[in-house]
Structure 1
Amino acid sequence: MQDQTLPENIANRLRRDILRGKLVPGDSLKERDSAAELGVSRTPMREAIRIVAREGLITLRPARSPIVAVPDVKAVTDDVEVLLAVEKLSAELACARATVAEVDEIAAILKRMDDNFDTMDPLDMFEIDMSFHSAIAKASHNEPLAEIHGRFLARLWRSRFLAAMKRRNRASVIKHHTGILAALRKRDTVAIRKAISIHLDQLTEDIVQVIRDENELREQRNAKTANDLSA
């Protein structure tokens, strides 16, 4: 790890551990133990935790260790509504403002997804998928809008990844993204809104189901722990 990017590198490690389920909602993050495990000091570890907390993956608690955030159904569904609105608006603006080079870059991202979907690590593939959407937001040439998109993308990162794993269908994923790209190439705002709606139509339902499943598993785990302690 390079010193100048140490907190970001640690944050990426924490983020991936959370996404992969090594750290699950409700787990406590001991700053000292986590720093020792990675062979770093507590200062960059503390900053890394703050970075991931800003993304909504970790909850900070006064005078107590932070924990992996426990998703709230209402908060997450609200975030999905905002993300959907922002995705549609940024895509509309991209239809009018994206340069040829930007459209070609988005097409290259889709080709990389298509070429590697069956062989690449699912988390790496998901990150490429999200870069497709981020590139469209950037092509809107509206910096505040792109920043909002990035913020809500980060807030929904974990829930969206887990939901995507439950519906990991190569044909559907490539078809949806191809439809979005085709509308962008035609500069067709109506078509691109429709394509994004089709792509994200099941997102709220899928995420809510993921959260409910996790809550049930966590309750079962807590009940088992309580029983073991009382035995």
Structure 2
Amino acid sequence: MTFSAGPQDKLAELAPIGARKSLAEEAADQLRDFILLERLAPGEPIRERDLADALGISRTPLREALRLLEIEGLVEYSPTRRPFVADPDLDTLAQNLSVLGALEGLAGEQACANATDAQIREIGSICRQMIERSDLDDPLTFFRRDMAFHETIVTASGNRPLAETQRQYNARLWRARFISSQRQPDRPRTLYQHEEVFKALERRDARACRQALRTHLSTTVENIAKTRSEQEHEAQKK
């Protein structure tokens, strides 16, 4: 098993300023990218010694990192406590996405009432960058713009308990949303839906914003189902 460093985060300007991350948190960030890019494939056993060597850390912070990813639902453990990459079925993803859609819809509704003009301009800027750089950004950068768009709306709602709950569900669906965002045939629809969300927010139309976000989240399940079907078809051809 060999690993190379993931792409550097080109969206540092979107990251919140905070305390320096611990070694375990930095390792969790790298492992999250490995999982998103399938350097660690769904269902694959995680060999702690190999990973620790690849990341240049001891197994203690690695195990702490794996526990963080277990909380997020990206890593699971066998009955013998051996870690492996989570591979939730489509029904589980659909159920979680329905909850996330309700949460983000509520956030959009409340953002229409509570967002400052500056926050709305920031959301519009991210939306515009996604459209203008859709064919230029690497997969992780495009995905991070996508997540920044959603996270900024949730923050603009001004509802801290809602933001905390959304982060918990979003962490469980990080890889699913990444897969959905990478489907090139569906990219125009994704960008159009983001525009619809922003236009509703700009008008401060709470009902339209809520519905646009829920519709947008519901298409994630469709995109994942298409991807899995295509993967199964390719596997049968081999």
Q: Structure 1 residue 131: deviation in Å? A: 1.1
For the structure 1 residues 143 and 216, does the alpha-carbon distance in structure 2 shift closer, same or farther, using more than 3 Å as the test?
A: farther
Matched position secondary structure for 2:82: strand
Please say if 1:77 is aligned against 2:80: no
Task: Look up the match of 1:175.
Answer: 192
Q: Structure 1 residue 90: deviation in Å? A: 0.7
Distance 1:13 1:205 in 2: 28
Please say if 1:153 is aligned against 2:170: yes
Decide which of 32, 53, 62 is 1:36's aligned counterpart: 53
Report if aligned partners of 2:98, 2:218 keep a CA contact under 8 Å in 1: no
Q: Structure 1 residue 211: deviation in Å? A: 4.6
Report if aligned partners of 1:159, 1:210 keep a CA contact under 8 Å in 2: no
Q: Structure 1 residue 218: deviation in Å? A: 8.4
Distance 1:61 1:116 in 2: 41
For the structure 1 residues 154 and 127, does the alpha-carbon distance in structure 2 shift closer, same or farther, using more than 3 Å as the test?
A: same
Task: Look up the match of 2:157.
Answer: 140
For the structure 1 residues 111 and 150, does the alpha-carbon distance in structure 2 shift closer, same or farther, using more than 3 Å as the test?
A: same
What residue identity is the alignment partner of 1:81? Answer: S
Report if aligned partners of 1:73, 1:211 keep a CA contact under 8 Å in 2: no
What residue identity is the alignment partner of 2:38? Answer: G
What residue identity is the alignment partner of 2:131? Answer: D
Question: Which deviations, in whole Å up to 9, do the C-alpha atoms of 1:11-35 show, x marking residues without a partner?
Answer: 1111111111111111111222211
Bigger mean CA offset, 209-218 vs 84-93? 209-218
Q: What TM-score comes out, normalization by structure 2 length? A: 0.82
Q: Structure 1 residue 160: deviation in Å? A: 1.9
Distance 1:107 1:31 in 2: 42
Distance 1:137 1:18 in 2: 25
Q: Structure 1 residue 184: deviation in Å? A: 0.7
For the structure 1 residues 110 and 185, does the alpha-carbon distance in structure 2 shift closer, same or farther, using more than 3 Å as the test?
A: same
Question: Which deviations, in whole Å up to 9, do the C-alpha atoms of 1:134-159 show, x marking residues without a partner?
Answer: 11111111111111111111111112
Alpha carbon RMSD of aligned pairs, Å? 2.5
For the structure 1 residues 38 and 213, does the alpha-carbon distance in structure 2 shift closer, same or farther, using more than 3 Å as the test?
A: same
Q: Structure 1 residue 186: deviation in Å? A: 1.1
Distance 2:234 2:68 in 1: 27
Question: Which deviations, in whole Å up to 9, do the C-alpha atoms of 1:18-60 show, x marking residues without a partner?
Answer: 1111111111112222111211111111111111111111102
Bigger mean CA offset, 157-166 vs 195-204? 195-204
Q: Structure 1 residue 217: deviation in Å? A: 7.6
Q: What TM-score comes out, normalization by structure 1 length? A: 0.85
Alignment of 1:47-196 (within 5 A): 47-196=64-213
Distance 2:87 2:232 in 1: 8
Bigger mean CA offset, 2-11 vs 20-29? 2-11
Report if aligned partners of 1:18, 1:158 keep a CA contact under 8 Å in 2: yes
For the structure 1 residues 69 and 111, does the alpha-carbon distance in structure 2 shift closer, same or farther, using more than 3 Å as the test?
A: same
Which structure shows the higher helix fraction? Answer: 1
Aligned residues: 220
Distance 1:71 1:77 in 2: 10
Q: Structure 1 residue 62: deviation in Å? A: 4.8
Question: Is the radius of gyration larger for structure 1 or structure 2?
Answer: 1
Q: Percent identity?
A: 40
Structure 1: gaps spanning 5 or more residues: 222-231
Question: Which deviations, in whole Å up to 9, do the C-alpha atoms of 1:105-132 show, x marking residues without a partner?
Answer: 2122122212321111012101110110
Structure 2: gaps spanning 5 or more residues: 1-18
Q: Structure 1 residue 202: deviation in Å? A: 2.2
